[in-house]
């Protein structure tokens, strides 16, 4: 446990010394926080700002100093974290005792929204994922949610990787980066909210560099590198905030002509910020350009997926409504270091107003197929179907918190939204994938629904 103003209130109050600091700087607030489960999931920083504590920044600065003093070896692991460690060790033991299945599953098409099994007949666990192509093989990597039932404290159980030559049948290649089971401060500790890994190969070092986002109180990146795509990966940064920004969803791109790398990320929930990567791709240097500035949730853009076609740069993003999907937006730019201009929702004939009930994580090119790209997306809550009514409800309820004159919602609508807007309590172990081809309507990317499709259908 690291004591600071970014830690969850519930975790802080578990510690007697931490609770005393909380009471000293925020007298009378503890009763409210303990009686409200949603408040306990907030960070101290969020609580102070949301409740508009008088002279909040001064209170946070002083409280931060007092909390830093509690970072002793004795306080490093809390009782709750020790319980999690034992639970995670038991899950790991059970996994190791399972007999491996024989490869006997085969499929010849992509079926969006249906269970996707690997060659051994197990659910593919590579969520918030991306695809890397090398030497005739596609590698699909992402978040392992096999143990994320919303009850046991697991958010992501390491980063898994699969390989395929046809995009239909995927072989489980194990962990790209395994979970860290005994250090609650490690970014890959299963309770940490690790999301959306992305890999670039750095032309100046020859290393494979993997950035992963931590959502929640940390709002930072963890950065790893390896000599081979499949690892082993070594830790470079446990928690990293480029330019001091709180980190949200992101993508990495590289310019083949110049070798420069770029980081696009939701910075401070204020804009989609582009920063140039350092020569080794291990950090971000100068800030270059902002797209979608001055928006508030749910219109703030997240989940950026970037790609290039015929020299033009494209970015697809979603709004900010948690695991409940919403409308996507597409945007275009003539350069990686220029602002992107919106082209509108790429999902056509989508009666749900929710991107076919999914959220895009990456756009990748199909090798040997001129101009063919695939949008890979997650359906995080397959049993919670979003229709146009629910999509509108989420938009209005969230927007009403920021612009109450323009957006209104009833108390009943608020209760419905809060009941459906689950994150830490969501069972994503059975989340599905929605892979669809990117087509073109003039210069605008277009995504149409297909129940079942093959690459050859698009020739």
| Whether residues 58 and 122 fall in one domain | no
Name the pLDDT band for 37 (thresholds 50, 70, 90).
low
With a cut of 90, say whether residue 1 has pLDDT above it.
no
| Predicted pLDDT at 459 | 67
Q: Which residues contact 422 (CB under 8 A, 6 or more apart)?
A: 150, 322, 323, 381
| Whether residues 219 and 331 fall in one domain | yes
Give CA–CA dist 347/328, Å, rounded. Answer: 7
Residue 292 lies in a domain: yes
Give CA–CA dist 170/433, Å, rounded. Answer: 14
If you count DSSP H runs as helices and E runs as strands, how many of each does the chain have, helices first? 9, 20
With a cut of 80, say whether residue 73 has pLDDT above it.
no
Residue 314 lies in a domain: yes
Give CA–CA dist 121/141, Å, rounded. Answer: 18
| Predicted pLDDT at 370 | 81
Name the pLDDT band for 48 (thresholds 50, 70, 90).
confident
First to last CA, the chain: 54
Most confident range (mean pLDDT) of 69-78, 323-332, 362-371 is 323-332
Name the pLDDT band for 53 (thresholds 50, 70, 90).
confident
Taking only the tens place, the pLDDT of each residue in 138-172 is 999 999 999 999 999 999 999 999 999 999 999 99
Residue 227 lies in a domain: yes
| Whether residues 39 and 163 fall in one domain | no
Residue 207 lies in a domain: yes
Q: What is the dihedral of CA 40, 46, 49, 50, to 10 degrees?
A: -50
Report the range of poorest mean pLDDT among 35-49, 263-277, 312-326: 35-49
Tokens 């081809």 sit at which residue?
437
Compute the mean pLDDT over every residue in the chain, rounded to the nearest whole number: 93
| Whether residues 237 and 341 fall in one domain | yes
Report the range of poorest mean pLDDT among 258-262, 384-388, 417-421: 417-421
| Predicted pLDDT at 344 | 96
Put simply, whether the predicted model's pTM sits higher than 0.85 gets the answer yes
| Predicted pLDDT at 18 | 87
With a cut of 80, say whether residue 264 has pLDDT above it.
yes
Give CA–CA dist 362/234, Å, rounded. Answer: 24
What is the DSSP code string of 224-269? EEESSTT---EEEEEEE-GGGPPEEEEEEEE-TTT--EEEEEEETT
Cβ(440)–Cβ(446) under 8 Å?
A: yes
What average pLDDT does this structure show over 71-91? 88
Nearest-5° Cα angle at 146, 302 to 182: 90
Name the burial class of residue 204, with classes exposed (0-12), middle (13-18) and buried (19+) by CB atoms within 10 angstroms of its CB. Answer: exposed
Give CA–CA dist 414/394, Å, rounded. Answer: 9
Name the pLDDT band for 40 (thresholds 50, 70, 90).
confident
* Residue 317: CATH number of its domain: 2.115.10.20
50 token code pair: 């949301």
With a cut of 90, say whether residue 234 has pLDDT above it.
yes
Name the pLDDT band for 46 (thresholds 50, 70, 90).
confident
Name the pLDDT band for 77 (thresholds 50, 70, 90).
confident
Residue 94 lies in a domain: no
Three-class SS state of 80: helix
Residue 395 lies in a domain: no
Report the range of poorest mean pLDDT among 44-58, 120-134, 176-190: 44-58
Give CA–CA dist 420/408, Å, rounded. Answer: 18
Name the pLDDT band for 100 (thresholds 50, 70, 90).
confident
| Whether residues 174 and 319 fall in one domain | yes
Number of domain units in the chain: 2
Domain range spanning residue 45?
A: 9-68
Taking only the tens place, the pLDDT of each residue in 266-294 is 999 999 999 999 999 999 999 999 999 99
Give CA–CA dist 115/431, Å, rounded. Answer: 8
With a cut of 80, say whether residue 312 has pLDDT above it.
yes
* Distance set, CA 235 to CA 221, 240, 255, 402 (Å): 12, 12, 25, 39
With a cut of 80, say whether residue 67 has pLDDT above it.
yes
Residue 91 lies in a domain: no
| Whether residues 52 and 189 fall in one domain | no
Nearest one of 190, 206, 132 to 162, comparing CA atoms: 132
| Whether residues 181 and 327 fall in one domain | yes
Q: Which residues pair with 251 in a beta bridge?
A: 264
| Whether residues 110 and 35 fall in one domain | no
What average pLDDT does this structure show over 96-122? 94
| Whether residues 202 and 248 fall in one domain | yes
Name the burial class of residue 352, with classes exposed (0-12), middle (13-18) and buried (19+) by CB atoms within 10 angstroms of its CB. Answer: buried
Taking only the tens place, the pLDDT of each residue in 386-401 is 999 999 999 999 999 9
| Predicted pLDDT at 267 | 96
What are residue 49's phi and psi, to 5 degrees?
-75, -40
What average pLDDT does this structure show over 252-269? 95
| Predicted pLDDT at 159 | 98
| Whether residues 60 and 139 fall in one domain | no
Residue 83 lies in a domain: no
Strands (E), 345-407: 359-365, 373-379
| Whether residues 276 and 381 fall in one domain | yes
| Predicted pLDDT at 8 | 83
| Whether residues 49 and 152 fall in one domain | no
What average pLDDT does this structure show over 5-29? 86
Taking only the tens place, the pLDDT of each residue in 419-448 is 887 888 899 999 999 999 999 988 899 999
């Amino acid at each position: 446990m690291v004591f600071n103003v970014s830690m969850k209130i519930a975790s802080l109050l578990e510690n007697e010394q931490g609770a005393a600091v909380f009471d000293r700087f925020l007298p009378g607030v503890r009763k409210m926080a303990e009686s409200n489960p949603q408040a306990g999931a907030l960070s101290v920083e969020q609580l102070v700002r949301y409740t508009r504590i008088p002279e909040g920044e001064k209170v946070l600065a002083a409280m931060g100093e007092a909390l830093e003093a509690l970072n002793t070896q004795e306080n490093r692991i809390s009782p709750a974290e020790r319980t999690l460690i034992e639970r995670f060790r038991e899950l790991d033991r059970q996994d190791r005792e399972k007999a491996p299945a024989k490869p006997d599953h085969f499929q010849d098409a992509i079926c969006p929204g249906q269970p996707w099994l690997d060659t051994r007949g197990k659910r593919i666990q590579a969520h918030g994922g991306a695809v890397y192509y090398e030497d005739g093989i596609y590698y699909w990597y992402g978040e392992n949610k096999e143990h994320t039932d919303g009850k046991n404290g697991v958010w992501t159980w390491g980063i898994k990787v699969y390989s395929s030559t046809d995009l239909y049948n995927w072989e489980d290649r194990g962990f790209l980066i395994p979970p860290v089971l005994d250090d609650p401060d490690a970014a890959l500790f299963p309770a940490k909210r690790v999301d959306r890994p992305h890999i670039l190969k750095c032309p100046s070092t020859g290393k494979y560099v993997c950035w992963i986002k931590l959502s929640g109180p940390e709002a930072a990146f963890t950065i790893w590198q390896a000599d081979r795509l499949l690892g082993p990966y070594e830790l470079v940064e446990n928690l990293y905030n480029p330019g001091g920004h709180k980190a949200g969803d992101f993508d990495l791109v590289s310019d083949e002509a110049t070798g420069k790398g770029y980081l696009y990320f939701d910075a401070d929930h204020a804009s989609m910020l582009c920063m140039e990567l350092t020569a080794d791709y291990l950090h971000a240097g100068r800030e270059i350009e902002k797209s979608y500035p001055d928006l508030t949730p749910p219109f703030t853009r997240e989940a950026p997926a970037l790609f290039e076609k015929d020299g033009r740069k494209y970015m697809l993003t979603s709004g900010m409504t948690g695991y409940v999907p919403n409308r996507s937006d597409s945007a275009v730019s003539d350069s990686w270091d220029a602002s992107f201009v919106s082209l509108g929702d790429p999902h056509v004939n989508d009666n749900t107003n929710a991107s076919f009930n999914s959220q895009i994580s990456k756009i990748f090119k199909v090798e040997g197929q001129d101009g063919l790209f695939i949008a890979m997306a997650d359906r995080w809550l397959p049993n919670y179907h979003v229709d146009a009514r629910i999509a509108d409800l989420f938009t209005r309820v969230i927007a009403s918190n920021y612009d109450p004159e323009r957006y209104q919602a009833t108390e009943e609508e608020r209760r419905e939204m809060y009941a459906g807007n689950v994150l830490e309590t969501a069972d994503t172990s059975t989340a599905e994938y929605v892979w669809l081809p990117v087509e073109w309507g003039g210069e605008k990317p277009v995504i149409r629904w297909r129940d079942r499709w093959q690459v050859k259908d698009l020739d």
